[in-house]
Structure 1
């Protein structure tokens, strides 16, 4: 359950591996290859056996890709990971800011005389390849489907995962698999489709009320599926994973090697989500003469709209998790007091991670953490998705900001919370920035909006206090969250690029931040659920929505410049802290209960 802290790769491995890859490309007559962080399921998380990008470059972040040419190699990463990538990768890899730099533009500049670039069609979606080919039009750079060139070089490649599968209780799901399959099949019938291909493990697990153990932190089974218009499902994975677990009638378990023949035997039209299926799926269907209809995965929208049972489970999980967080925050406050009186007292980032994970485990209900805990002190906090290792482990110092982003996987819900904590007195700049981040989080928490509003409309509410000071952050403000599934779930987001309307039952994170490279990082995160809003008398006769805050944990009042918050923001925070104290106090030790009284006290006027 607990994460390890070994350094996952070494920068010195990159140059010889890149050289070997180039030799393999030359033998195939290729000028380059795209190596993504992806597997055939096209989800965010990959098993160790599919971590080809990490094997090649050393980069272990959750998003990115490498384009390796004969004389140049670009590692494309977004703003969350650039500091991390520079620390993990040898200088043979050029860190390319993405999406600001489009891969097509980079290839045009790097290959002015044209080139043939290989790609593995199982590791890219049709939308991705189509966009790249459009960007390369008339450039002389062409893309070619190839067998993966990394796999033959990876002599110590791990075996595929074989985690056990369990049935997920209908009392927690709120709907039977039969009902979900029936609804999804009806959507196919209404659109004149005979079947749909599902490749994302969380969609399949949601549809079939299953959970698995193939990926760390994400309770899914890696499988592929075909849903037919009568509700039948062909499920393709290893039968050994299902020892002791019985599938419902209408769900047939088949070996993985039967997937391609099954695709070729389908009668169209077949619905395919071009944003999530591998490119190879469309190739196979087209070769077999099967009509392909591009349309969104029919599980995405209903999976995002949590049932009443799933929302009740989320509330229970967050209450339990809030008690664990209170125990942890109380302990950390004690450590800070010891540091103030004893200069020899040592607390490290690894100590932080281990104690927080122990607090969650002590609930007796933790199945796993929901992602590797981010515990960045001082300058490490400015690395947005920092993961401490034995090599990077930093001792906390007085005056540090301690950023802790963590979560738990409980059978009844998935949690994700970030708190930034003062380790002794901190500077004025840090407090001012913290207050602006808090102001943005509160503004979003209080938002009321008419139906039809998307996350892209709301993202600026969280940024506005920072923008007033000329500050910003390079990540979205929030992501969707699953129900004992992935801590990152779509299609809903709180991001300027999201056009998905928010609707009741969706759970999202609310996590603005600010990061000053080499100095400190600040992020505050609560999970929220979309619900009907209680608007005042006289409101326009529209269908109004708002947010219910699920997360229950104190926010460090010592970092707040109270005068910089509006009266409305102060009232919201005082009410939130009163709710935290009332809800969590009965579940914690007497020592932590006394600490909560102090931590949740009203702000001074």
Structure 2
């Protein structure tokens, strides 16, 4: 089917269902950022493949909403004669609906939206209708089958805490709130709580399913039994019962008259609807696994440090190789990313990329979440800016790093160096921040932007996101962003520090390290303070730095960081890489 035929077929199904509009989110039933091929509804309908977005289909118009990371990509991937492209914050979906869908019945699949998400769309004059069957699925004739990868135990040497202990602590929070059960719809929560991992998603080691956590620490795990082999059942123990998803309604009906926790942001609206009909009492509360998962235990922190050292060795090999090969002009975006992956694959405990590498040369670097494909793969020319954003999944940690490089052999333009240096200043400002407990990511976001703001410059994405432990490279609930929830930072959280600048049609700049939240020892402090430990170990491109723009403190930080990179990475690399690393880490 052509894009036009797909849209027409969906509209015909909507008419049969008695609604005039339909909302198509990016998320699947688990409301996560990453979905299996069977959940790529937004991409199938619109052509847009970004990891965040929403489409709204009305009888005579349709729109795709994305954030600032994807404004260029969405226009390139969608048919402008079929789809309007809208910035999700500059023209929110609710406002667009208010302007174009008054008095229309708007359908939605309650499995694909949190109840809170529908509430945010609700404005006077709009009528939302939960549909029992998804009309898009009905016209997606060649829809892939649901993933069936096995769930496997995640060893205690990496998890750091037994599942029984985690379940007991999570159940205690339910009892304290006088709740008898909690719905767990986020597959990351299942992975963390039960110390299991899987292969249902590319790049994120999840086994997709749902669970009911009971106040006595028992768990009903709703997952296709074929995905849970005997070894995993032994690992789960007798207090975790594996049940097919078809038994979910029966299990929820059994909660009649009981108080059940629902995380309104992380649970499909279907659960809320069903439990209310069953006569259960809905208790609004956060997923009891979310905050404990974000605060890594001591074993996970040490695992993150070890994983980043191994990842640093792979990055050093890549950067040395790139410095030698890029000036020759024989590389492409895809060949460079493939070489970095090959270096990572040599590392111990490596299990795959944490996301598809963003390998963007020249103007492609200005597309924030660009992904090189055969039809877009571009030659990396000499004397231009190249951006590489990548990461690895290791059994003991998840990495994410971005470096902006100059391909040489000539000198970089002064204007480019000035902007890279301003991005670096912002990176350093965040990395060196010390702050009292209670401070949240939105409170610190401006630190990374100050040097750009001084010149009237900015970037249209958050400064950083949470990162999991052999889980998702994008993990809530914390983030450095003006639009993020105000969730106080806590010891053990891992976040990215990635300010940037993007000159559309010319180049992109982003400098990213991962930071671990640790206690700050301040003798004069009158209350507890926190600070960051930098986990990522890779030199910044000194050919793109203008030292005169750095303060003395910033130069000292950069030189100390590079000295640490050299000291920790040198024992892990070959002589050729080490020779390059010594030069790359020389003091500025």
Range of TM-score over shorter length: over 0.9
Identify the match of residue 466 of structure 2 among 467, 480, 503: 480
1:213 and 2:199 equivalent? yes
Identify the match of residue 25 of structure 2 among 5, 15, 36: 36
Identify the match of residue 158 of structure 1 among 137, 144, 149: 144
- Name which of structure 1's ranges 496-505 and 190-199 shifts more when overlaid on structure 2: 496-505
- Residue of structure 1 equivalent to 2:228: 242
Identify the match of residue 273 of structure 1 among 246, 263, 275: 263
- Residue of structure 1 equivalent to 2:382: 398
Q: Distance in 1 between matches of 2:438 and 2:15?
A: 52
Q: Distance in 2 between matches of 1:159 and 1:25?
A: 24
Instruction: Provide TM-score, normalisation by structure 2.
Output: 0.97
Is the 1:115–1:142 contact (alpha carbons within 8 Å) kept by the matching residues of 2?
A: yes
Instruction: Provide TM-score, normalisation by structure 1.
Output: 0.94
Equivalent position SS for 2:135 = coil
- Cα deviation for residue 99 of structure 1 reads 2.1
Q: Distance in 2 between matches of 1:541 and 1:346?
A: 58
Q: Distance in 2 between matches of 1:130 and 1:516?
A: 37
- Cα deviation for residue 540 of structure 1 reads 3.2
Is the 1:399–1:427 contact (alpha carbons within 8 Å) kept by the matching residues of 2?
A: no
- Residue of structure 2 equivalent to 1:111: 101
- Residue of structure 2 equivalent to 1:290: 280
- Cα deviation for residue 209 of structure 1 reads 0.6
1:187 and 2:208 equivalent? no
Q: Distance in 2 between matches of 1:581 and 1:357?
A: 22
Runs (5+) with no aligned partner, structure 2: none
Identify the match of residue 525 of structure 2 among 534, 537, 540: 540
- Cα deviation for residue 173 of structure 1 reads 1.3
Q: Distance in 2 between matches of 1:316 and 1:259?
A: 40
Identify the match of residue 460 of structure 1 among 443, 446, 453: 446
- Residue of structure 1 equivalent to 2:487: 500
Q: Distance in 2 between matches of 1:368 and 1:532?
A: 32
Question: C-alpha deviations, 1:36-80, integer Å up to 9, x for none?
Answer: 111111111111001100000000100001001111100000010
1:59 and 2:48 equivalent? yes
- Residue of structure 1 equivalent to 2:350: 366
- Cα deviation for residue 366 of structure 1 reads 1.2
Q: Distance in 1 between matches of 2:237 and 2:553?
A: 52
Q: Distance in 1 between matches of 2:388 and 2:253?
A: 49
1:562 and 2:547 equivalent? yes
- Cα deviation for residue 132 of structure 1 reads 1.3
- Residue of structure 2 equivalent to 1:227: 213
- Name which of structure 1's ranges 548-557 and 392-401 shifts more when overlaid on structure 2: 392-401
Where does 1:440-459 land on structure 2 (aligned, <5 Å)? 440-459=426-445
Equivalent position SS for 1:175 = coil
Q: Distance in 2 between matches of 1:240 and 1:125?
A: 28
- Cα deviation for residue 521 of structure 1 reads 0.3
- Residue of structure 1 equivalent to 2:419: 433
- Residue of structure 2 equivalent to 1:70: 59
Where does 1:487-526 land on structure 2 (aligned, <5 Å)? 487-498=473-484, 499-526=486-513
Is the 2:349–2:396 contact (alpha carbons within 8 Å) kept by the matching residues of 1?
A: no
- Cα deviation for residue 428 of structure 1 reads 1.6
Q: Distance in 2 between matches of 1:492 and 1:364?
A: 29
Question: C-alpha deviations, 1:141-172, integer Å up to 9, x for none?
Answer: 21111121111111110010011221111122
Runs (5+) with no aligned partner, structure 1: 1-11, 340-344
- Cα deviation for residue 238 of structure 1 reads 1.1
- Cα deviation for residue 205 of structure 1 reads 0.6
- Residue of structure 1 equivalent to 2:314: 324
Q: Distance in 2 between matches of 1:257 and 1:428?
A: 63
- Cα deviation for residue 365 of structure 1 reads 2.5
Equivalent position SS for 2:296 = coil
Q: How many residues align?
A: 579
- Residue of structure 2 equivalent to 1:4: none
- Residue of structure 2 equivalent to 1:3: none
- Residue of structure 1 equivalent to 2:341: 357
- Residue of structure 2 equivalent to 1:176: 162
Is the 1:378–1:521 contact (alpha carbons within 8 Å) kept by the matching residues of 2?
A: yes
- Cα deviation for residue 26 of structure 1 reads 2.1
Question: C-alpha deviations, 1:543-584, integer Å up to 9, x for none?
Answer: 110000000011001100100011101100100000000000
Is the 2:310–2:348 contact (alpha carbons within 8 Å) kept by the matching residues of 1?
A: no
Q: Distance in 2 between matches of 1:26 and 1:164?
A: 40
- Name which of structure 1's ranges 12-21 and 38-47 shifts more when overlaid on structure 2: 12-21
Q: Distance in 2 between matches of 1:292 and 1:365?
A: 42
Question: C-alpha deviations, 1:62-114, integer Å up to 9, x for none?
Answer: 000100111110000001001001111111111011022121210121134x2
Is the 1:480–1:507 contact (alpha carbons within 8 Å) kept by the matching residues of 2?
A: yes
Q: Distance in 2 between matches of 1:29 and 1:175?
A: 51
Q: Distance in 1 between matches of 2:15 and 2:283?
A: 37
Identify the match of residue 48 of structure 1 among 37, 49, 59: 37
- Cα deviation for residue 29 of structure 1 reads 2.8
- Name which of structure 1's ranges 355-364 and 192-201 shifts more when overlaid on structure 2: 355-364
Is the 1:211–1:221 contact (alpha carbons within 8 Å) kept by the matching residues of 2?
A: yes
- Residue of structure 1 equivalent to 2:325: 335
Q: Distance in 2 between matches of 1:171 and 1:108?
A: 53
1:148 and 2:134 equivalent? yes
Q: Distance in 2 between matches of 1:124 and 1:336?
A: 45
Q: Distance in 2 between matches of 1:542 and 1:23?
A: 62
Q: Distance in 2 between matches of 1:540 and 1:592?
A: 43
- Name which of structure 1's ranges 258-267 and 278-287 shifts more when overlaid on structure 2: 258-267
Q: Distance in 2 between matches of 1:281 and 1:320?
A: 42
Q: Distance in 2 between matches of 1:263 and 1:510?
A: 41
